[in-house]
Amino acid sequence: MDYQPRPDEVAALVLEVAGLRGALAGIDAVTAADDALVRQVLEEAGRFVAARIAPLSRSGDEVGARFEDGRVTMPPGFRDAYRAFWQGGWPALSARPEDGGQGLPTVLECVLYEWLTAANHGWTMAPGLLHGAYECLRHHASDEVKARYLQKVATGEWLATMCLTEPHAGSDLGLVRTRAVPQADGSYRISGTKIFISNGEHDLTDNIVHLVLARLPDAPPGPKGLSLFVTAKFLPDGARSAVHCERIEEKMGLHASPTCVMRFDEACAWMVGAPGRGLGAMFVMMNSARLHVALQGIGLLDAAWQKADAYARERRQMRAPGPRAAGAPPGAAAADPIIAHPAVRRLLDTQRAWVDGARVLAYRTGLELDLARHHGAPERRAAAERWCAFITPVLKAACTEQAFVGASDCLQVFGGHGYVREWGIEQIVRDARVAMIYEGTNEIQAIDLLVRKTLPDGGAGLAAFFADLGAAGADAARFGTLVRLAAAIGRAAPGQAELPYRIAGDFLRATALALLGWAWSRIGATAGFGGARWDAPRRALADWILPEFAMRTAIIETQLAQAGAPPNPP
Amino acid sequence: MDYQPRPDEVAALVLEVAGLRGALAGIDAVTAADDALVRQVLEEAGRFVAARIAPLSRSGDEVGARFEDGRVTMPPGFRDAYRAFWQGGWPALSARPEDGGQGLPTVLECVLYEWLTAANHGWTMAPGLLHGAYECLRHHASDEVKARYLQKVATGEWLATMCLTEPHAGSDLGLVRTRAVPQADGSYRISGTKIFISNGEHDLTDNIVHLVLARLPDAPPGPKGLSLFVTAKFLPDGARSAVHCERIEEKMGLHASPTCVMRFDEACAWMVGAPGRGLGAMFVMMNSARLHVALQGIGLLDAAWQKADAYARERRQMRAPGPRAAGAPPGAAAADPIIAHPAVRRLLDTQRAWVDGARVLAYRTGLELDLARHHGAPERRAAAERWCAFITPVLKAACTEQAFVGASDCLQVFGGHGYVREWGIEQIVRDARVAMIYEGTNEIQAIDLLVRKTLPDGGAGLAAFFADLGAAGADAARFGTLVRLAAAIGRAAPGQAELPYRIAGDFLRATALALLGWAWSRIGATAGFGGARWDAPRRALADWILPEFAMRTAIIETQLAQAGAPPNPP
Q: Which of A412, A419, A446 sits opposite B252 (nearest CB)?
A: A419
A502–B346 CB contact, under 8 Å: yes
CB contact under 8 A, A404 and B408: yes
Whether B321 and chain A come into contact, CB under 8 Å, resolves to: yes
Q: Given this model, what pLDDT does residue B329 score?
A: 61
Give pLDDT, residue B32.
79
Distance of CA A393 to the CA centre of its chain: 10
CB count within 10 Å of CB A154 equals 25
Q: List chain B residues with CB under 8 Å of A175.
A: 317, 333, 335
With cut-offs at 50, 70 and 90, classify the pLDDT of residue B326.
low
Question: A547, B558 in Cβ contact below 8 A?
Answer: yes
Rounded to a whole number of angstroms, the CA Rg of chain A reads: 24
Position B448 pLDDT exceeds 60: yes
pLDDT of amino acid A32 = 79
Task: Give the integer Cα–Cα distance in Å for B278 and B290.
Answer: 18
Q: What is the pLDDT of residue B288?
A: 86
Higher pLDDT pick, A351 / B170: A351
Q: Which helix (H) or strand (E) holds A272?
A: strand A259-272
In Å, how far is A87's CA from the nearest CA of chain B? Answer: 33
Q: What is the CATH number of domain A7-136?
A: 1.10.540.10
Concatenating the DSSP letter of every residue in B485-536 gives HHHHHHHHGGG-TTHHHHHHHHHHHHHHHHHHHHHHHHHHTSTT--SHHHHH
Of A321, A332, A420, the CB nearest to B250: A420
Q: Which residues of A touch B548 (CB under 8 A)?
A: 551
CA dihedral A227, A232, A238, A240 (to 10 degrees): 100
User: At B22, phi and psi to the nearest 5?
Assistant: 85, -15
- Amino acid making up residue A359: R
Distance separating alpha carbons of residues A414 and A423, to the nearest angstrom: 9
The answer to whether A361 touches A515, Cβ cutoff 8 Å, is yes
- What is the phi/psi pair of residue B311, to 5°? -65, -40
How close does chain B come to A547, measured CA to CA in Å?
A: 6
Closest C-alpha among A118, A127, A549 to residue A306: A118
Task: Cite the active site residues of B.
Answer: 439
Confidence of residue B103 (pLDDT cuts 50, 70, 90): very high
Q: What is the 3-state secondary structure (H, E, C) of A86-150?
A: HHCCCCCCCCCHHHCCCCCCHHHHHHHHHHHHHHCHHHHHHHHCHHHHHHHHHHHCCHHHHHHHH
Q: Residue B69: which residues within 8 A CB-CB, separation 6 or more?
A: none
Q: How do beta strands B259-272 and A71-73 pair?
A: unpaired
Residues of A in contact with B342 (CB under 8 A): 498, 501-502
B:369-428 residues touching chain A, CB 8 A cutoff: 404-405, 408, 411-412, 415-422, 426
Q: Residues B117, A411, A395, A540: what is their CA dihedral angle, to the nearest 10 degrees?
A: -120
Say if residues A212 and A231 touch (Cβ distance below 8 Å): yes
C-beta atoms surrounding A274 within 10 Å? 12
* Dihedral over Cα of A416, A418, A421, A423: its sign: positive
CB contact under 8 A, A171 and B415: yes
Domain ranges of chain A: 7-136, 157-278, 286-318+336-562
Q: Measure the CA–CA gap between A239 and B475, rounded to whole angstroms.
A: 72
Of B251, B408, B550, the CB nearest to A433: B408
Nearest CA in chain B to A222: B333
Average pLDDT over residues B529-536: 96
Residue B492 at interface with chain A, using a CB cutoff of 8 Å: no
Q: Is the pLDDT of residue B328 over 80?
A: no
With CA atoms as reference, the chain B residue closest to A438 would be B416
List of residues 6+ apart from A132 with CB closer than 8 A: A162, A285, A288, A289, A292
- Residues in chain B with CB shorter than 8 Å from the CB of A441 are 412, 415
Which spans in A323-449 are helix H? 342-374, 378-413, 416-419, 425-432, 442-447
A246 touches chain B (CB under 8 A): no
Q: Is A274 on the interface with B (CB under 8 A)?
A: no
Tell me how crowded residue A109 is: count the other CB atoms within 10 A of its CB.
26
Closest CA–CA distance from residue A225 to any residue of chain B (Å) = 11
User: Cα separation of A494 and A452, whole Å?
Assistant: 14
B468 touches chain A (CB under 8 A): no
Closest by CA to A126, choosing from A233, A49, A203, is A203
Q: For B6-51, what is each residue's pLDDT tens digit? A: 999 999 999 999 999 889 988 888 887 899 999 999 999 999 999 9
% of chain B residues with pLDDT over 70: 98
Q: Tell me which chain B residues have a C-beta less than 8 angstroms from the C-beta of A340.
A: none
| B318 interfacial to chain A (CB closer than 8 Å) | yes
From CA A101, how far away is CA A134, in angstroms rounded?
11
Beta carbons within 8 Å of A182's beta carbon, 6+ residues apart? A188, A216, A217
Smallest CA–CA distance from A224 into chain B, residue: B332
8 Å CB contact of B551 and A548: yes
**Cβ contact B98:B29 at 8 Å:** no
Decide if A443 and B555 are in contact by the 8 Å CB cutoff: no
Cβ-Cβ contacts under 8 Å, B409 against chain A: none
Sequence-distant (6+) residues with CB within 8 A of A198 are A125, A128, A129, A161, A257, A258, A259, A260
Interchain CB contact of B351 with A (< 8 Å) = no
SS3 B252: coil
In words, the CATH class of domain A157-278 is mainly beta
* A321 in reach of chain B (CB within 8 A): yes
Specify the pairing of strand A259-272 against strand B66-68.
Answer: unpaired
* Of the candidates A345, A343, A543, the residue with the CA atom closest to the CA atom of residue B556: A543
Residues of chain A with pLDDT under 70: 324-333
Question: To the nearest whole angstrom, how far is the Cα of B405 from the nearest Cα of chain A?
Answer: 8
User: Please, what is the average pLDDT of chain B?
Assistant: 95
Within a 10 A sphere around the Cβ of B10, how many other Cβ atoms?
Answer: 23
- Judge contact between B8 and B111, C-beta under 8 A: no
Nearest CB to A343 within list B249, B317, B443: B443
Q: Does any CB of chain B come closer than 8 Å to the CB of residue A172? A: yes
* B318, B331, B550 member nearest A171 (Cβ): B318
CB contact under 8 A, A221 and B331: yes
Spell out which residues of chain B touch residue A436, defining contact as CB-CB under 8 Å: 412
Pick the CATH number of A286-318+336-562 from 1.20.140.10, 3.90.1150.10, 2.40.40.20, 3.40.50.300: 1.20.140.10
CA A156 to chain CA mean position, Å: 19
Give dist(CA B565, CA B568) in Å, integer: 9
CB B367 within 8 A of CB B349: no
pLDDT tens digit sequence for B65-98: 999 999 999 999 999 999 999 999 999 999 999 9
Q: In this structure, how many other beta carbons lie within 10 angstroms of the beta carbon of residue A527?
A: 6
Report yes or no: B269 and B212 within 8 Å, Cβ to Cβ: yes
Q: Do B501 and A446 touch (CB under 8 A)?
A: no
Asked whether the beta carbons of residue B497 and residue A323 sit closer than 8 angstroms, the reply is: yes
Q: Which amino acid, one-letter code, is at A113? A: Y
pLDDT at position A282, please?
86
Distance between CA atoms of B250 and B277, rounded to whole angstroms? 33
Q: Give the pTM.
A: 0.97
End-to-end CA distance of chain A: 50
CATH number of the structural domain B158-275? 2.40.110.20
Other CB atoms within 10 A of residue A313 CB: 12
Nearest Cβ partner of A501 from B321, B446, B544?
A: B321
Q: What Å distances lie between residue B11 and A367, A414, B154, B201, B353, CA to CA?
A: 60, 39, 25, 36, 17
Q: Which residues contact A348 (CB under 8 A, 6 or more apart)?
A: A305, A308, A309, A312, A339, A410, A413
Task: Determine the pLDDT at residue B386.
Answer: 97
Per residue in B199-241, pLDDT (tens digit) is 999 999 999 999 999 999 999 999 999 999 999 999 999 999 9
Q: What radius of gyration, in Å, describes the C-alpha atoms of chain B?
A: 24
Catalytic residue among A109, A114, A401, A439: A439
In whole angstroms, give the CA distance from residue B173 to residue B217. 17
Q: Which of A481, A453, A448 is nearest to A386 (CA)?
A: A453
Tallying the residues shown for chain B, one arrives at 570
Cα gap B113→B107, rounded to integer Å: 10
| Residues of chain B with C-beta less than 8 angstroms from the C-beta of A548 | 551
User: Cβ of B495 under 8 Å from any chain A Cβ?
Assistant: no
Mean pLDDT throughout B291-314?
A: 98
Q: Is B494 on the interface with A (CB under 8 A)?
A: no
Inter-chain CB proximity B318 and A172 less than 8 Å: yes
How many Å apart are CA A139 and CA A145, to the nearest integer?
12
Residue B433 contacts residue B371 (beta carbons within 8 Å): no
Contact call for residues A455 and A490 (beta carbons, < 8 A):
yes
Q: How far is CA A538 from CA A350, A352, A357, A432, in A?
A: 9, 9, 9, 25
DSSP B327: T
> Which are the contacts of A382, defined by CB distance < 8 A and separation ≥ 6?
none
Confirm or reject contact between A70 and chain B (CB < 8 A).
no
Whether the CB of B236 is below 8 Å from some CB of chain A: the reply is no
- B570 has a pLDDT exceeding 90: no
- Coil, strand or helix at B202: coil
**Cβ contact, residue pair A434, B411, below 8 Å:** no
Partners of B67 on chain A (C-beta within 8 Å) are none
CB contact B343 to A (< 8 Å): yes
**Interface contact flag, B343 A172, Cβ < 8 Å:** no
Nearest to A421 among B221, B250, B412 (CB): B250
Quote the minimal CA–CA distance from A307 to chain B in Å: 16
DSSP string, A284-344: TTHHHHHHHHHHHHHHHHHHHHHHHHHHHHH-B-SPPSSSPPTTPPPSTT-PPBGGGSHHH
- Nearest chain A Cα distance for residue B546, angstroms: 10
Please state whether B100 falls in left (phi above 0), alpha (psi between -120 and 50) or beta: left
Contact A171 B317 (CB under 8 A): yes
Q: Is A440 helix (H, G, I), strand (E, B) or coil?
A: coil
> What CA–CA distance (Å, rounded) separates A37 from A43?
10
Pairing verdict, β A243-248 and A208-215: unpaired
Other beta carbons within 10 Å of B378: 8
Interface A-B: count of C-beta contacts within 8 A: 197
Give the Cα-Cα-Cα angle B558, B563, B568 (nearest 5 degrees): 70
Q: Which CATH number fits domain B286-319+335-562: 3.40.50.300, 3.40.190.10, 1.20.140.10, 1.10.1040.10?
A: 1.20.140.10
